[in-house]
Structure 1
Amino acid sequence: MGRLGALRYLKQRKEKALQKIRKEEQENCEFYCFLQYEFFRAWTDLKAYANGKGIRIIGDIPLYAALDSADVWAEREEFLLDQEGRPTVVAGCPPDAFSDDGQKWGNPIYDWERMEKEGFSWWRRRMDAAGRLFDIIRLDHFIGFARYYSIPAENENGRNGKWNKGPGRKLTEAIEETLGKNRVIAEDLGVLVPAVKKLLKKTGWLGMRVLLFAFDGNPHNEHLPYNYESQNEVVYTGTHDNETVAGYFAQKTQKELEFAYRYLEIHERRQIPDALIREAYRSSADIVIISLQDLLGLSNEARMNFPSTIGKNWRFLNRFPWRIIIVPIMRSLYILFMMEMGTGSEI
């Protein structure tokens, strides 16, 4: 058998091919098993230390799995693939105001019908593993739980796809049974159809609000704190995918800034980062999340991530001394929070 034939059998997880590669690559396999063991040991110790200090860790779980992931390779029957392991349809989104062609993400679509018949066992195992790593889990692209967009795999872009009904409440119930209550943040950003809002309300999970999105001049914008419908929200100044607050507003014209100035009761651009942080703490949201970059008022040079790109992402390093600069800032925020709660300011 030639090398290409051997790789084909390995791709298809033929038992003889798996036995052969395990024997030939035994040392490598054991090395990577050791690395995983060391990672999980170190992570468990770190998490225990953080939890002991009253810190809970939030982990991010994408809706879809990558085509070249271990998940798809090891459990092909859970995805809509052909006999060669190639996707028949892939995930994406239709054309919109930001893209005439839509987006073709390329992730294989789950075989939701099969998963439901199996009681969503794959998802239960996935969430159980995530639940051991993290205290709270943010489910990315929650919209896809209610409805998802599929594109024929041979298409070049997001055109000519179609909307499909998602797994809905049956899947969210399986997740709740696995994780327990109060451990999920639903990333519900984007255009929300009634089905998405209805599903989120049924789950009782926390939704997301992002203050960077709030100041488009529309008084009914759902990201403006006075429009929050319940406490069941997590409010961010901006997420890891956004510009920093200072960087975002540095590019706005005076006319575009007028609404923000009026709402925040400030008069200068440089006041916006602190004003947004105060507004987040004054909101009715249950949880407030502020990036260190926004806490320090840093520009876009400190931006964390550029979506749809690879390279210089997640490389921000804090070089400010914690005790001299950051701790006093956090102390003042704590005092502000306690004053807003009416419980005094002693710490």
Structure 2
Amino acid sequence: MQLKRSSGILLHITSLPSSFGIGDFGPEAFKFIDFLAETKQKLWQTLPICPTNSPSPYSSLSAFAGHSWLISPDKLLENKLLTKDDLKSIDQSKFNNSYVNFDEVKKIKEQLLEKAYVNFKNNNKQAQEILNDFFQREQYWIDDFTLFMTIKEKHKDTIWCDWPEPLRRREQTALQMIRQLEKDRIEYYLFVQYIFDQQWKELKKYANDSKIKIIGDIPIYVDFDSVDVWSNSLIFQLDHDDTMKPTVIAGFPPDHSSSTVQNWNMPVYDWNNENVRKDLFDWWIKRLRKALTIDDLLRIDHFRGLEAHYIIPVDIKTQKPNTSQAHWVKTPGHELLTAVTESLGSDVPLIVEDLGDVTPEVFELRDRFQLYGVKILQMGFYYDTDNMYCPHNYTPNSVAYTGTHDNPTTLQWWTKEASEKEKKQFIEYIRRPIDGDKELINGLKLDKHVDKYICWYFIQIILQSASNGAIIQMQDILNVSTRMNEPGIASDIEHNGLQNWSWRFEWSQLTSDIRMRLKKLTQMYGRDLKYGKSIPPDDMVMKDESKCILQ
């Protein structure tokens, strides 16, 4: 992949302002693209936009479908699928401009989509033909998805392994009966995906016409209670003879952020089973191909798992994980990526999260396929200044971040989490022989000054770095401390007054001074494509990062 020197913003669509309690594909998303263009940004990175089991965008019901909560009621009104009275009937008092109330959003969006579906069928003579054409284009995944959602609804949202045997085992007679008896409900879920597809394509075209590329995000794993596991159960390590539940689950060993084994409670692919490897690779290729029709570039979460994956054995009878026996297992990542490039081309636009207990083999796999790694600036000051995340070690074949959804915001890191050693190391790193800085450096008397400007220090550092890509977390542009996600905290539990994933911004926070400063820095450091130039992968200086691995 060749990524030109450019910059952009990390902001999930749910965090946009809107009148319906959650950011969506409506007017505010188009306005945000205008802001990106105004400030010379070329990239907009989102979190996954698949339907979810919870507020977490990384807990998906499908790796192929789109999330109904992101559909814009304003756009449904514009297309005469809703009326002004439909929108006026919404109780705005249940929403908050600063965060998402997921329970209320779910109720409202489902009510509006049900109305839109009825209007679509009643008022459009070509409704059936439109849906049939869409079904034919997307049949390879949407047939299973609409069945799964319909059966799940019919069985009161229970996990698929608890469905009646014929349905959980996907006996064709049982599935055909559902198709006949629940035809209208299946068609409703087809309609929702059609509308999602239409609205997203319009938004993406607007972004691309504005010279902005969309960076999507896909988790390496999928939920057990997903259509992907139900319809492709053989490619996962499950108890196929009896319960159909996982025999091992994904996780991560203790590290600097957690003193215990992390249990992600997601099923693990049966990577090393030669009998299913072709089907497993085919599923991955279809997944990536679909994602690349939605986004311009893709970030793969937990890329480390494609070199070796960490598994936690599960007691089949009690379903209790045995963390004491958790261990790493080699992944056929080279074979997978070879199959991917043979099918999708050698220039697959992938950014990979090469973080977390990394080894030389992880970097070797990344570089062999000329994939872009990530650099998290906060991590440059956790350790000594010769670690790979310190800015002077950045290489062009990378994307630099002020922070990600799993990190504290820059302001939060500085004011609450960074140690005095880290603060001192940061100040020494940016010190300049200017009279005004001497007072700040001496004795580390810098609280008020840095609290105010720490975010812009971070933004400036990643923009001026050698990384071809630079992504700024939206909270850092606004200098706020509310993070998107606190790992280890369940999505339905409030933490510091908010649920994970619920943060939203308001336009009043995005002042003219912020806009002007961001535009100026972007152009100053050559990240406006009009001025910047790309460095092809073949010409990149490939630093031996194995020497910088954090121990």
Report the TM-score when normalising by structure 1.
0.89
Pair 114,50 (structure 1): closer, same or farther in 2 beyond 3 Å: farther
Q: CA deviation at 1:94?
A: 2.9
> Is contact 2:402–2:472 with CA below 8 Å preserved after alignment?
yes
Q: Deviations over 1:93-150 (max 9, x none)?
A: 2344554541222222212234434481111111111111111010111111111112
Q: Choose the corresponding residue for 1:330, options 518, 538, 541.
A: 518
Distance 1:54 1:5 in 2: 48
1:74-89, aligned counterparts within 5 Å?
Answer: 74-81=231-238, 82-83=240-241, 84-89=243-248
Kindly report the root-mean-square deviation, in angstroms, between the aligned alpha carbons of the 2 structures. Answer: 2.6
Pair 323,256 (structure 1): closer, same or farther in 2 beyond 3 Å: closer
Q: CA deviation at 1:187?
A: 0.4
Distance 2:463 2:163 in 1: 59
Distance 1:5 1:323 in 2: 52
Distance 1:96 1:304 in 2: 21
Q: Given residue 275 of structure 1, which amino acid in structure 2 is its aligned partner?
A: Y
Q: Given residue 149 of structure 1, which amino acid in structure 2 is its aligned partner?
A: Y
Match of 1:183 in 2: 349
Pair 153,339 (structure 1): closer, same or farther in 2 beyond 3 Å: closer
Q: CA deviation at 1:77?
A: 1.4
Structure 2 portions without partners, runs of 5+: 1-154, 156-160, 432-436, 441-445, 493-498, 533-551
1:1-347, aligned counterparts within 5 Å?
Answer: 7-81=164-238, 82-83=240-241, 84-96=243-255, 98-112=257-271, 113-118=274-279, 120-154=281-315, 155-180=320-345, 181-228=347-394, 230-251=395-416, 252-265=418-431, 267=440, 268=446, 269-270=450-451, 271-299=453-481, 302-308=482-488, 309-311=490-492, 312-321=499-508, 322=510, 324-338=512-526
Q: CA deviation at 1:192?
A: 1.0
Q: Given residue 457 of structure 2, which amino acid in structure 1 is its aligned partner?
A: A
Pair 6,133 (structure 1): closer, same or farther in 2 beyond 3 Å: closer
Pair 202,122 (structure 1): closer, same or farther in 2 beyond 3 Å: same
Q: Deviations over 1:28-78 (max 9, x none)?
A: 111111001000111111111111111111111111111111100011111
Q: Deviations over 1:251-285 (max 9, x none)?
A: 24544411111112263322321111111111110
State which drifts further: 279-288 or 86-95.
86-95
Q: CA deviation at 1:296?
A: 1.8
Q: Given residue 303 of structure 1, which amino acid in structure 2 is its aligned partner?
A: R
Q: Given residue 409 of structure 2, which amino acid in structure 1 is its aligned partner?
A: T
> Is contact 1:146–1:199 with CA below 8 Å preserved after alignment?
yes
Pair 45,303 (structure 1): closer, same or farther in 2 beyond 3 Å: same
State which drifts further: 96-105 or 86-95.
96-105
Distance 2:378 2:513 in 1: 24
Q: CA deviation at 1:23?
A: 2.7
SS at match of 1:209: strand
Q: Given residue 75 of structure 1, which amino acid in structure 2 is its aligned partner?
A: N
Q: Deviations over 1:135-189 (max 9, x none)?
A: 1010111111111112212243532022211012111122233444151001011
Aligned sequence identity (%): 36
> Is contact 1:264–1:279 with CA below 8 Å preserved after alignment?
no
SS at match of 1:57: strand
> Is contact 2:300–2:350 with CA below 8 Å preserved after alignment?
yes
Pair 340,54 (structure 1): closer, same or farther in 2 beyond 3 Å: closer
Distance 1:284 1:75 in 2: 42
Distance 1:291 1:96 in 2: 24
> Is contact 2:463–2:527 with CA below 8 Å preserved after alignment?
no
Pair 79,338 (structure 1): closer, same or farther in 2 beyond 3 Å: closer
Aligned length: 339
Distance 2:173 2:331 in 1: 37
Q: Deviations over 1:9-32 (max 9, x none)?
A: 211111222122223322211111
> Is contact 2:397–2:467 with CA below 8 Å preserved after alignment?
yes
SS at match of 1:234: strand
Report the TM-score when normalising by structure 2.
0.58
Distance 2:385 2:519 in 1: 32
Structure of higher RCO (CA pairs closer than 8 Å, 6+ residues apart): 2
State which drifts further: 330-339 or 64-73.
330-339
Distance 2:205 2:185 in 1: 30
Pair 236,96 (structure 1): closer, same or farther in 2 beyond 3 Å: closer
State which drifts further: 183-192 or 312-321.
312-321
SS at match of 2:388: coil
> Is contact 1:150–1:164 with CA below 8 Å preserved after alignment?
yes
State which drifts further: 146-155 or 278-287.
146-155
SS at match of 2:507: coil
> Is contact 1:169–1:199 with CA below 8 Å preserved after alignment?
yes
SS at match of 2:457: helix
Pair 282,6 (structure 1): closer, same or farther in 2 beyond 3 Å: closer
Pair 100,248 (structure 1): closer, same or farther in 2 beyond 3 Å: closer
Q: Given residue 305 of structure 1, which amino acid in structure 2 is its aligned partner?
A: N
